[in-house]
Amino acid sequence: MKINETVREDGLRIITGKVPSKKVFVQMIAGVGSAYDPEGKDGLFHYFEHMAFKGSGRRNINEIRDFARKNILQSNASTGRLQTEFHGEAVRHKFSLLCDYICDIFFNSIYPADEVEREKEVVFNEIARDWDQDNYAVYFLLWENLWEKNPMRIFGVGSPDGVKSITRENLLEAKQKWYVPSNTLAIGIGPIEHEKFVEEINQRVPLNHSKTEHLSWADEYLILPKNKEVVLLRPKREKATLVYGCKFPMFKEEKANAVLQVLEYMLVKGSASLLWNEIREKRGLAYTVSGGVGGSYPLALDFTVYSEMLPNRVDEVRELINKFVHKNLEHNCSFEDTKEYLYDWYSLSTENLNTWANFISEKNKFGEPVKLAERQFQRYCNLIKSVTFDNVEDMRSELLKQEKFVTVVIKPS
């Protein structure tokens, strides 16, 4: 991996990661997301993700689809709490076409009025689908009880009333304010010459010296949860769903994050974890046991354990989760096995162009030089090797305190 970065005079950051591949990956990231949704219009920035593909100043909706069908292997968009990203992948000889496509939907979308109203029905369906899923609802209830004002309280998809109130004018106004070069990261990964990528972006993105002002929030890590337990009864259910979670501090130090990842996999992440083995394999009490640390730097993080079981097994599963999360870990073969697994995983993940883009994006979130992503794999594997069992146990005992946890259960009424 060879990383180069050019910062234009208007603040647009153009970054390339040169790696051997038959494909190229291009991503545009706007430094704005659902945390910035205006009051009464929750879901606005998620709506950009839908509307960007509905027509630009150069192509109507059908022309965008036809162009993508012919030239783009895959493209998509996603909305986080603090950023919205659009990406695509193509064979390498179509690099210029891919740049044109991503720049067009990112900077030139015009949000045709008829499409704005038509797409609302799609998002209403998305919201309804999410709320019908118990695994969505338990996390919503958990976050509502962990945080008071931090945007980690919310999902970015929005509410029916919020989406209903969104107008084309709202989209255009927000785009003019936030989708500007100074708030944009352009990333190209693959067999890409940096000068060529800069040229491609420059010819499609005019200079614009508009500036944005970002907000900040307290992580609320030290605030104890409002409720220790929440139970939601829902009809026509044959199973129960449980999540057990707490707020987690944010580490800038890479060593601490390496320790955290070993802890996650030893305790709850994957089918070799302690909780999977104790709850599913030994006792057969649940179909799934999973979890780990999630969130959005620099907003906040959480640590969760998620499980699904028969309703009459909720208490047993809850007691076992509580017991093993707060019990000293045993120094056995799982510690070394976990470190070896993580080493192997990182060595293979670097074959994915999207992974390199994520490395770069993560460095940007932490305010670190993106150049550091060049040796991300080697550095991180060395850190994994350096993690000791005492590091992991100290983190578990210090941060996974019972008084910080909330239990949310959804079960049949």
Gap between the Cα atoms of 265 and 260, Å rounded = 9
Residue 16 lies in a domain: yes
Q: Which helix (H) or strand (E) holds 407?
A: strand 406-412
- Mean pLDDT (the chain, rounded): 94
Judge if 51 and 187 occupy the same domain.
yes
8 A C-beta contact, residue 33 and residue 83: yes
Residue 93 CA neighbour count, 13 Å, CB half: 0
Judge if 181 and 147 occupy the same domain.
yes
Gap between the Cα atoms of 166 and 172, Å rounded = 11
Only one residue has tokens 């883009």, namely 357
Would you state the pLDDT for residue 40? 94
Residue 211 lies in a domain: no
193-224 per-position pLDDT tens digit: 999 999 999 999 999 999 999 999 998 999 99
Angle at 276 between CA 247 and CA 305, to 5 degrees: 15
Tell which of 170, 204, 238 closes a domain. Answer: 204
Residue 214 lies in a domain: no
Residue 175 lies in a domain: yes
The DSSP symbol for 165 reads T
Judge if 250 and 380 occupy the same domain.
yes
8 A C-beta contact, residue 409 and residue 311: no
CB count, 10 Å around CB of 76? 11
328-339 per-position pLDDT tens digit: 998 887 899 999
31-67 per-position pLDDT tens digit: 999 999 999 999 999 998 999 999 999 999 999 999 9
Q: What is the DSSP string of 19-69?
A: ---SEEEEEEEES--GGGPPTT-TTHHHHHHHHTTSBBSS-BHHHHHHHHH
Judge if 109 and 28 occupy the same domain.
yes
% of the chain exceeding 70 in pLDDT: 100
- The CATH code of the domain that includes 75 is 3.30.830.10
CA distances from 32 to 9, 101, 182, 201, 217 (A): 21, 21, 12, 20, 14
Judge if 257 and 300 occupy the same domain.
yes
Residue 251 lies in a domain: yes
Tell which of 189, 204, 219 closes a domain. Answer: 204
Left (φ > 0), alpha (ψ -120 to 50) or beta: where does 62 sit?
Answer: alpha
Judge if 253 and 373 occupy the same domain.
yes
Judge if 177 and 31 occupy the same domain.
yes
Judge if 192 and 330 occupy the same domain.
no
Would you state the pLDDT for residue 185? 97
Judge if 277 and 162 occupy the same domain.
no
b/e code 357-385 from CB counts within 10 Å (16+ = b): bbbbbbbbeeeeebebbbebbeebbebbe
328-384 per-position pLDDT tens digit: 998 887 899 999 999 888 888 777 898 889 989 988 887 888 988 888 888 888 999
Residue 141 lies in a domain: yes
Averaged pLDDT for residues 311-315: 97
Averaged pLDDT for residues 96-124: 96
Residue 212 lies in a domain: no
Judge if 354 and 389 occupy the same domain.
yes
Domain that holds residue 107: 2-204
Judge if 184 and 239 occupy the same domain.
no
Which residues lie below 8 Å from residue 230, measured CB to CB, with a gap of 6+?
141, 142, 145, 406, 407, 408, 409
Judge if 168 and 47 occupy the same domain.
yes
* Total number of domains constituting the chain: 2
